Amino acid sequence: MAELTSQEVVDLTRTLNYGTWRFQKGWMPMHVVDAEGCEIIDGDGKRYLDFSSQLMCSNLGHKNAAVIAAIAEQAQQLAYAMPGYATTARAELSQLLLEVLPQGLNKFFFTTSGTEANEAAFKIARMYTGKNKIIARYRSYHGSTSGSIAATGDPRRWAMEPAGKLPGVIFAPEAFCYRCPLGHAAANCGNACANYIEHMIVNESDVAAVIVEPIVGTNGVIVPPEGYMPRLREICTKHNVLLIADEVMSGWGRTGKWFAMEHWGVAPDILVTAKGITSAYVPLGLCATNEKIAAYFDDHYFSHGHTYEAHPITLKPAVATIKEMQRLGLVERSAELGLYLGEKLRELQTRHVCVGEVRGKGLFWALDLVKNRATKEPFATYADKVSGKALLVDQIAGKCVADGMTVQSWVSHFVIAPPLIVSKEQIDF
Ligand code: PLP
């Protein structure tokens, strides 16, 4: 077969594929041929600083020798074993997870994505509690399958409604102080949005779990106020409702801690993660449960699984990723450089009146664009996006690409999340 030109690659990709949330006539994907460290390289050899770690997942950057070696070694030794077997890769990863996960999370179910890990979490919560309803929050994203999209609190779930919606999911207000959904002015609200969840639990009954992104990712890097998570933990414990932390994006050092829940010293009952677990070298998701739930499943059959569950080629690179993160001190680096990145982004805010808020933690930030700083009206809405209107964020992102930088834009904000190996010079750029 003759080697394809860059133009042919782009044309074939456009004409024969759905591009995720870009399936539209004008979709013009970049042909990525190579990548190194924090940069990706296109078909013309042009380099781009990747300021969102692709989909907030290439945390170690590209061409990490240890992770690549782990993939090759595992492929040569044992490329696949069905999930019912024990493998060395699985044992090694499980040991390391006990070191880095919040304490008490000690039984693991491996998937190939965050979406599937959330599905497992919902099933576990329902089986364990014998209850049915899941409380999720607006402005959240939990995945793309029927169950996980039903628990997603952003407009992407609307495509599934009403016929395709999984029953039993109900929505709580997001903990978003900049645009408080309950109309409070500042953080002295007494955790009203957490208390509202208690009100829901009491009035709904039959609630199995509350699922939260500890720091909301795609929908704008929303950091809850200080007392929120401890209060939510208290409420869940009081009412025998499981607290599920979806750390698919916020985990693995992204926020300056191994896991975002550590910022508030709160232990979830179930922790779901993916992305940074292998730094996206291979697809892997994890659903981890605490001691008590684990004990229940010692005596109860968990009738759930996948052909590629605990696939050895996904597990071994995760071992290498965690060891590399430990060796390079990337969690501490994320906390330290995150302060610098935050300062630089605030400088941008002083220069550009359209930047309404800069928010984040570690190397996880958002720039929220507004029409008017006083009213905080977003520059664009989801309806503008689906109607195909040209969005300011996309225009700015396009300008960044022209200047040699890629960054994730979403309706009216940017998610800024460089690889954890980013340098100060790259942040300055
Ligand atoms: N949960 C959160 C918080 C996410 O950010 C994502 C993906 O972006 C998912 C779940 C779904 O994970 P995946 O895309 O690996 O299925």
What's the whole-number mean pLDDT along residues 210-216? 98
pLDDT given for residue 263 in this prediction: 98
Within-domain flag for 22: no
| Residue 53 or 18, more confident | 53
**pLDDT given at position 2:** 87
Residue-level pLDDT at 25 = 65
Report residue 163's pLDDT band, with 50, 70 and 90 as the boundaries: low
Question: Is the four-CA dihedral 151, 152, 158, 164 of positive or negative sign?
Answer: negative
For the chain, how many structural domains are there in total? Answer: 2
Q: Are residues 297 and 345 in the same domain?
A: no
Å from CA of 249 to ligand 1 middle: 7
The Cβ of residue 28 has, within 10 Å, a number of other Cβ atoms equal to 9
Q: What is the CATH number of the domain that holds 115?
A: 3.40.640.10
Give the mean pLDDT of 82-106.
Answer: 96
Output the CA 412–ligand 1 centroid distance in Å: 20
Q: Containing domain of residue 304, as a range?
A: 65-328
Asked whether residue 25 is assigned to any structural domain, the reply reads no
Are residues 353 and 252 part of one domain? Answer: no
Please give the pLDDT value at position 18. Answer: 72
Q: Are residues 150 and 215 in the same domain?
A: yes
**Is the per-residue pLDDT at 20 higher than 60?**
no
State phi, psi for 246 to the nearest 5 degrees.
-90, 95
Top mutation candidate among 110, 148, 248 for ligand 1, by most atoms within 8 Å of CB = 248
Q: In testing the pocket of ligand 1, which one of 141, 212, 410, 415 has its CB within 8 Å of the most ligand atoms?
A: 141
Are 248 and 382 part of one and the same domain? Answer: no
- Please state which of the ranges 64-78, 103-117, 146-160 shows the lowest mean pLDDT: 146-160
pLDDT higher than threshold 70 for residue 329: yes
* Domain match, 154 and 303 both: yes
Q: How remote is the CA of residue 218 from the centroid of ligand 1, in Å?
A: 9
- The arithmetic mean of pLDDT across residues 404-426, rounded, is 97
Check whether residue 299 and residue 339 sit in a common domain. Answer: no
**Range in 161-165, 204-208, 377-381, 422-426 the model is least confident about:** 161-165
Residue 216 gets which letter from DSSP? B
Of the pLDDT bands very low, low, confident and very high (cuts 50, 70, 90), residue 14 is confident
Residues 320 and 342 in one domain: no
Phi and psi at 329, nearest 5°, equal 60, 45
pLDDT confidence of residue 388? 80
**What are the CA-CA distances from residue 131 to residues 20, 210, 300 (Å)?**
34, 12, 16
The ligand 1 atom nearest the CA atom of 274: 15
274 Cα–ligand 1 center, Å: 7
Evaluate the omega torsion of the peptide bond into residue 162 and state whether it is cis, within 30 degrees of 0: yes
Distance CA 429, CA 408 (A): 17
Q: CA 70, CA 284: separation in Å to the nearest integer?
A: 14
Q: Which of 302, 328, 354 is the last residue of a domain?
A: 328
pLDDT at position 408 over 90: yes
Q: Would you say residue 21 has pLDDT above 60?
A: no
> Does 17 reside within a domain?
no
> Which segment of 28-32, 276-280, 400-404 scores lowest on mean pLDDT?
28-32
% the chain with pLDDT above 70: 97
Which of 272, 294, 328 is the last residue in one of the domains? 328
Distance from residue 188's CA to the centre of ligand 1 (Å): 31
Atom of ligand 1 nearest to the CA of 56: 8
- C-alpha of residue 17 to centroid of ligand 1, in Å: 21
* Res 161: pLDDT: 80
Of 194, 218, 208, 191, whose CA–CA distance to 244 is shortest?
208
Residues of the chain with pLDDT > 90, as a percent, come to 87
**What band does 70 get if pLDDT is binned at 50, 70 and 90?**
very high
Does the pLDDT value for residue 130 go beyond 60?
yes
- pTM value is 0.97
Residue 19 domain-assigned (yes or no): no
Query: Poorest-confidence range of 18-22, 46-50, 74-78, 79-83?
Result: 18-22
Pocket test for ligand 1, best of 20, 56, 115 (most atoms within 8 A of CB): 115
Atom of ligand 1 nearest to the CA of 283: 15
Q: Is there a contact between 260 and 250 (Cβ–Cβ < 8 Å)?
A: yes
301 with 420, same domain: the answer is no
Same domain, 376 and 310: no
Ligand 1 site: residues with CB under 6 angstroms?
A: 55, 113-115, 118, 141-143, 213, 217-218, 246, 248-249, 274, 285
* Ligand 1 atom 12 nearest Cα: 114
Residues 222-271 have pLDDT tens digits of: 999 999 999 999 999 999 999 999 999 999 999 999 999 999 999 999 99
**241 Cα–ligand 1 center, Å:** 23
Task: Report yes or no on 112 lying in a domain.
Answer: yes
Ligand 1, atom 1: closest residue by C-alpha? 142
pLDDT at 12 over 90: no
Q: ipTM score of the complex?
A: 0.99
Residues 88-102 have a mean pLDDT of 98
Looking up residue 413, the CATH number of its domain turns out to be 3.90.1150.10
CB contact set of 193 (below 8 Å; sequence gap of 6+): 172, 173, 174, 175, 180, 181, 182, 228
CA of 164 to the centre of ligand 1 (A): 20
Please give the Cα distance from 336 to 328 (Å, whole number): 13
Distance 301 CA to ligand 1 centre (A): 27
Quick check: 187 pLDDT over 70? no
Does residue 11 belong to any structural domain of this protein? no
162-176, 282-296, 307-321: which range is least confident on average?
162-176
Are 183 and 129 members of one domain? Answer: yes
User: pLDDT value at position 411?
Assistant: 94
Is residue 5 in some structural domain? Answer: no
Same domain for 339 and 323: no
Query: Domain ends where: 293, 328, 363?
Result: 328
User: Domain for residue 4, yes or no?
Assistant: no
Taking a C-beta distance cutoff of 8 angstroms, is the pair 148, 113 a contact?
no
Does residue 370 share a domain with residue 240? no
**Which string of DSSP letters, residue by residue, matches 7-39?**
HHHHHHHHHH-PPTTT-STT-----EEEEEBTE
Label residue 280 left, alpha or beta by phi (over 0 means left) and psi (-120 to 50 means alpha).
left
